[in-house]
Structure 1
Amino acid sequence: MKQTIAQRFAAQLNKALAGEPHGKQKEMAEAIGVTPSRLNNIIRGRRGGDEDLRREICKYLGRDYEEFLFGRGGAVTQEDDELQEFVELYRRYGSRAFLESCIDRLREIKSVIEK
Structure 2
Amino acid sequence: MEREAKPLPMIRLLANLCFVGSFISFAVTTLGLFRMPDPYNLMHAVSVADSVGVGFAILGLFLLSPSWAVRIKLVVILAFFWIVNPATSHLVLKAGMVRGEPLAAETKAMKG
Same fold judged by TM-score > 0.5?
no
Q: Greater Rg, structure 1 or structure 2?
A: 2
Q: TM-score when scaled to structure 1?
A: 0.29
Greater relative contact order (Cα < 8 A, sep 6+): 2
